Amino acid sequence: MKLNPDNFDNIEVRPLTIADYESLLKLQRRCFKDMDPTSRAEFESQLYQFQEGQLGVFLNDELVGSASSLVLDLDEYSVNHTWSEIADDGFIRNHDEEGDTLYGIEVMVDPAHRGMKIGRRLYEARKELCIKLNLKRILVGGRLPNYHKHQDDMRVSEYVNAVMDKQLEDPVLTFQLKNGFTVKRIIKNYLPDDHESAHYATLMEWVNLDYEHTAPKQKISSSPTRICCVQYKMRKIASFDDFAQQIEYFVDVASEYKADFVLFPELLTTQLLSFVGEKRPGAAARELSKFTDQYVELFNEMAIRYNVNIIGGSHFTLENDRVYNVSYLFHRDGKIDSQYKIHVTPSERQWWGVQPGSEPKVFDTDRGRVAINICYDVEFPELARYAVDNGAQILFVPYCTDERHGFTRVRITSQARAIENQIYVAIAGTVGNIPSVPNMDIQYAQSAIFTPSDFSFSRDGIVAISEENTEMVVIADVDLEVLRRTRYNGTVTPLKDRRRDLYEIKFNHISDDEVILEMEEESLTEPEDLE
């Protein structure tokens, strides 16, 4: 039955939102029954990177067509690029606002609604977006779904010419030609699973005649970010003012050296217990939480006054009568974020009565996206991978270890996270001793900033490292643009080369209240592990 547009009350073309995900899955299953559907992580990444380029056509609020695209500079890609290379396996984290080309990676039209010019509406919307963004052109890698019928009789170039001369018809190429696209060249092995096209595609171009030739866009060659890691000495103090004075000293140092981030160690506020006097560990953790308002006010004021983003180590925080180990991110614009420690060590559980958080987060800052793994959390690779899949470029690891074995676990796993995720990792620990505070009487640390291991980075993947067990700071620059390029053109590309067809990481959304770790009966005998 031929569809009549007059039968529909409303036709709307708009950018997709996360609420459209289930509708998108249903559309994909109708259009490509044998294709693996877009994962929620891929769709969230597409929306985060370039929501304007993720378009949908709705008939009476039903999604009947979609188109996905990104902006890039084609000169950064090989001549015979693949869909996987261009689309970042569907995540489009290579979207480049400084690029000059809108590249279309997918178009779908519901088979039940063909004949209503849904595809043309999507292509027109792409053209309008190209003009709006003042881009030179649109490129698409076009499938040749009818070529398999002729591949025994003609070369792919002969087939393309025959379609262009209207001797043959191809549902994709013919449609693209009718919509003003021209053939640039033929690409081999564009989609390895596209047997209908014999793995070929045509690179199609639409030129934006309204493009305004202004001064050439300045390509970003470097995007340095300066990090300061504080190797903080735990010493007996007499008041909160003494603690604040010590904190301000290091924030001032970081600011003087124009750091963008300053990282303090885990549980540095346990120094306050040196004048509180409570010896029972569970009660001491709750007593320490009474300083939360002062702690937050101090670090927030410092971040604004000294114009530096501060990862304030971590602090025992009481919520709903539960003690959490929380790391706070104090932005220099006054915003405050927090990351709850997700994996609690036996020491924290038995000694302090700490309960685990259940939500890994990634934070937007004025120097890229960052995440926080509190000490023991970095020993679980799933958390760092989750952060990177959600755009993290720097991972901060505040830690507190009492001896070399614990430190070694943190150090080696932190460097492993940097290599396997192609991310910068900064670690900062406590040194010194407070004999009067049970379980915090000795410390062992060597703070550092790690990089991936490749020619673009420092030797041994270490951009800076401190002396062991000495109070000091480590300051170094990391380059986010170098990181971005290496993720796509490095000697090895572990992010791109993951076998997504073989395995995946899945997180369950649960409430912290659903998780309760039993605290052992309090004693003054110290457990052996502290991370």
DSSP string, 360-393: ---EEEBTEEEEE--GGGGGSHHHHHHHHHTT--
Q: How confident is the model at residue 518 (pLDDT cuts 50, 70, 90)?
A: low
> pTM (2 decimals)?
0.69
Give Cα 351 to chain centroid, integer Å.
34
Residue 198, pLDDT above cutoff 90: yes
> From CA 476, how far away is CA 217, in angstroms rounded?
29
Task: For residue range 444-482, list pLDDT tens digits in order.
Answer: 999 999 999 999 998 899 999 999 999 999 999 999 999
Question: Burial, 13: exposed, middle or buried (Cβ in 10 Å; 0-12, 13-18, 19+)?
Answer: middle
Give Cα 334 to chain centroid, integer Å.
23
Two structure tokens written together for 251: 């924030």
DSSP string, 302-350: HHHHTT-EEE---EEEEETTEEEEEEEEE-TTS-EEEEE--S--HHIII
Determine the average pLDDT of the residues in 25-46. 88
SS3 273: helix
CATH (residue range 225-497):
3.60.110.10
**Could you give the percent of the chain with pLDDT greater than 70?**
93
Q: What is the pLDDT of residue 301?
A: 97
| Pairing, β 394-398 against β 182-187 | unpaired
Determine the average pLDDT of the residues in 67-88. 90
Task: For residue range 141-155, list pLDDT tens digits in order.
Answer: 999 999 999 999 999
Give Cα 120 to chain centroid, integer Å.
34
Task: For residue range 95-129, list pLDDT tens digits in order.
Answer: 988 899 999 999 999 999 888 899 999 999 999 99
Task: For residue range 164-174, list pLDDT tens digits in order.
Answer: 999 999 999 99
Q: Long-range contact list for 519-523, CB < 8 A, 24+ apart?
A: 519/282, 519/349, 519/350, 519/353, 520/349, 520/350, 522/280, 522/281, 522/282, 522/283
> From CA 356, how far away is CA 272, in angstroms rounded?
23
Question: Burial, 103: exposed, middle or buried (Cβ in 10 Å; 0-12, 13-18, 19+)?
Answer: buried
DSSP string, 218-236: ------EEEEEEEEEEE--
Determine the average pLDDT of the residues in 373-379. 98
Phi, psi of 371 (to 5 degrees): -140, 165
Q: What is the pLDDT of residue 517?
A: 59
Regarding predicted confidence, which is higher, 89 or 423? Answer: 423
Regarding predicted confidence, which is higher, 279 or 286? Answer: 286
Distances (CA, A) of 143 to 177, 202, 430, 507: 13, 7, 58, 35
Q: What is the pLDDT of residue 523?
A: 41
Query: How would CATH label the architecture of 11-207?
Result: 3-Layer(aba) Sandwich (3.40)
DSSP string, 463-516: EEEPPTT--EEEEEEEEHHHHHHHHHHSSS-TTTT--TTT---------GGG--
Residue 3, pLDDT above cutoff 50: no
Residue 525, pLDDT above cutoff 50: no
Q: How confident is the model at residue 438 (pLDDT cuts 50, 70, 90)?
A: confident
Q: Are 234 and 435 in contact (CB under 8 A)?
A: no
Residue 260, pLDDT above cutoff 60: yes
Q: Could you state, in order of their start, the residue ranges of all structural domains in the chain?
A: 11-207, 225-497
> From CA 234, how far away is CA 251, in angstroms rounded?
16
> From CA 348, how far away is CA 340, in angstroms rounded?
13
Determine the average pLDDT of the residues in 226-231. 98
- Closest of 181, 74, 182 to residue 126, by C-alpha: 181
Same fold flag, 11-207 and 225-497: no
Catalytic residues: 266, 341, 375
SS3 305: helix
Q: How confident is the model at residue 360 (pLDDT cuts 50, 70, 90)?
A: very high
Query: What is the average pLDDT value for the chain, to the nearest integer?
Result: 90
> From CA 288, how far away is CA 295, in angstroms rounded?
10
Q: What is the pLDDT of residue 514?
A: 66
Determine the average pLDDT of the residues in 473-501. 88
Two structure tokens written together for 33: 């029954």
H or E, element range at 477: strand 472-479
Judged by average pLDDT, the poorest of 26-30, 31-35, 392-396 is: 31-35
Per-residue burial over 370-403, b if 16 or more Cβ lie within 10 Å, else e, is bbbbbbbbbbeeebbbbbbbbbbbbbbbbbbbbe
DSSP string, 122-135: HHHHHHHHHHHTT-
Q: What is the pLDDT of residue 216?
A: 57
Q: Are 169 and 163 in contact (CB under 8 A)?
A: yes
Judged by average pLDDT, the poorest of 154-158, 224-228, 427-431, 501-505 is: 501-505
> From CA 320, how far away is CA 512, in angstroms rounded?
10
Phi, psi of 401 (to 5 degrees): -125, 145
> From CA 19, how far away is CA 24, in angstroms rounded?
10
> From CA 88, how far away is CA 260, in angstroms rounded?
29
Residue 512, pLDDT above cutoff 90: no
Regarding predicted confidence, which is higher, 16 or 508? Answer: 16
Q: What is the pLDDT of residue 219?
A: 57
Q: How confident is the model at residue 515 (pLDDT cuts 50, 70, 90)?
A: low
